[in-house]
């Protein structure tokens, strides 16, 4: 029994700390970088909360699926070989993750929760832990909902959960690994670091958790050639303390945070800010010239004009 995930922390540190020294995206970043201890607290204290929340969602899904989903369909899917089930589980789950993640960027009151994750200013293997538990429960819960309801094998779902956990750590790590020539297929540190970048051109891009081709498919992929993100974080820094970040969504004003991208069908530009800013803040640096970036997913002329 390891409710706090101490074995995982130990193994992850043994793997990623040496890798980040050998293949660092930002070589000057220290192993014990700024606010490292805060993220360790997130990892230790949130693990139990997130597991309990996910167990509740899975239990509710199983109960509802028994009433709604034909048993014959569940049996057919559950009888498929592992090699056939696993790719389906990854694609279905990441589709759920993509749209839920995108919604957390688009809906102001949801962004309050997700802003906690984006408050980190130096990324490494531990950065994946800084996430508000309600954000993680909802996002992971939606990702698991279809695969649990449709009757995929428990073993396959377990394999997927293991892959998701390790890839989440990997894509946040301070590693200069781009997966070429598969950079447009599978999420990598390069791919996800752009999602955290505070360059205005990179805002609200790269939402997928595992499959970068989903962002290419939905027009939100941002992978500039020969360039890597340099700075991360919010418009204005958030207080870097666990307790303050846990209550931040309930005490902040969503209109004071930069307004994220909107969901399809709402006629607003994908890249925009509001005049007001949250407490504890300073302006972001000026955005890089859009002409220097090769962005997969076309910006509208209105968006591009704002960067010239």
Tens-level pLDDT at each residue, the chain (308 residues): 677 678 889 999 999 999 999 999 999 999 999 999 999 999 999 999 999 999 999 999 999 999 999 999 999 999 999 999 999 999 999 999 999 999 999 999 999 999 999 999 999 999 999 999 999 999 999 999 999 999 999 999 999 999 999 999 999 999 998 777 788 899 999 999 999 999 888 989 999 999 999 999 999 999 998 889 999 999 888 989 999 999 999 998 755 454 455 455 444 433 333 223 333 333 333 334 433 434 444 333 334 333 33
Task: Give 48's contacts (C-beta < 8 A, 6+ positions apart).
Answer: 3, 4
Residue 4 placed within a domain? no
Number of domains in the chain: 1
For residues 33 and 186, is the Cβ–Cβ distance under 8 A?
no
Backbone angles phi, psi at 247, to 5 degrees: -95, -10
Residue 216 placed within a domain? yes
For residues 118 and 234, is the Cβ–Cβ distance under 8 A?
yes
Residue 236 placed within a domain? yes
The radius of gyration computed from the CA coordinates of the chain, to the nearest angstrom, equals: 19
Whole-angstrom distance, CA of residue 282 vs CA of residue 143: 35
Is the full-model pTM beyond 0.85? no
For residues 210 and 187, is the Cβ–Cβ distance under 8 A?
yes
Residue 8 placed within a domain? no
Instruction: State whether the Cα torsion 63-61-89-129 is positive or negative.
Output: negative
Residue 17 placed within a domain? no
* Sequence-separated contacts (24+) of 256-261 with Cβ below 8 Å: 257/108, 257/111, 257/112, 257/115, 258/203, 258/234, 259/108, 260/105, 260/106, 260/111, 260/203, 260/204, 261/102, 261/105, 261/106, 261/203, 261/204, 261/220
Residue 297 placed within a domain? yes
DSSP 62: H
Whole-angstrom distance, CA of residue 182 vs CA of residue 16: 22
Residue 64 placed within a domain? yes
Tell me the CA distances in angstroms from 42 to 111, 140, 161, 181, 241, one per residue in order: 19, 17, 19, 35, 10
Cβ burial, residue 196 (10 Å; 0-12/13-18/19+): buried
- Cα-Cα-Cα-Cα torsion 85, 91, 94, 98, nearest 10 degrees, comes to -160
Length of the chain as a residue count: 308
Residue 205 placed within a domain? yes
Backbone angles phi, psi at 182, to 5 degrees: -100, 20
Domain span at 231: 37-306
3-state secondary structure of 170: helix
Q: Give the burial string for 263-272 (b: 16+ CB within 10 Å, else e).
A: eeeeeeebbb
């Amino acid at each position: 029994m390891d409710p706090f995930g101490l074995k995982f922390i130990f193994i992850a540190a043994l793997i990623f700390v040496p890798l980040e020294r050998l293949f660092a995206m930002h070589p000057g970043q220290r192993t014990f970088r700024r606010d490292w201890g805060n993220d360790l607290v997130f990892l230790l204290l949130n693990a139990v909360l997130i597991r309990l929340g996910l167990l509740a969602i899975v239990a509710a899904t199983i109960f509802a699926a028994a009433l709604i989903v034909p048993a014959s369909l569940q049996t057919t899917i559950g009888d498929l070989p592992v090699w056939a089930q696993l790719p389906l589980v990854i694609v279905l789950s990441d589709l759920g993750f993509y749209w839920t993640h995108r919604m957390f960027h688009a809906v102001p009151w949801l962004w309050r929760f997700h802003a906690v994750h984006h408050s980190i200013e130096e990324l490494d293997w531990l950065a994946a832990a800084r996430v508000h538990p309600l954000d993680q429960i909802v996002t992971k819960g939606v990702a698991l909902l279809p695969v649990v309801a449709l009757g995929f094998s428990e073993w396959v779902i377990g394999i997927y959960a293991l892959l998701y956990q390790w890839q989440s750590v990997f894509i946040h790590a301070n590693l200069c690994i781009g997966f070429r020539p598969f950079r447009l297929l599978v999420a990598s540190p390069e791919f996800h670091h752009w999602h955290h970048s505070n360059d205005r051109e990179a805002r609200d891009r790269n939402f997928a958790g595992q499959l970068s081709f989903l962002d290419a498919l939905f027009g939100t992929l941002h992978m500039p050639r020969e360039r890597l993100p340099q700075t991360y974080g919010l418009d204005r820094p958030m207080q870097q303390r666990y307790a303050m970040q846990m209550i931040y969504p309930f005490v902040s004003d969503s209109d004071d945070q930069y307004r994220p991208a909107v969901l399809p069908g709402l006629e607003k530009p994908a890249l925009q800010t509001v005049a007001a800013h949250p407490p504890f803040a300073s302006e972001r640096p000026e955005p890089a010239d859009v002409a220097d970036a090769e962005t997969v997913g076309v910006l509208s002329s209105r968006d591009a004009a704002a960067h010239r």
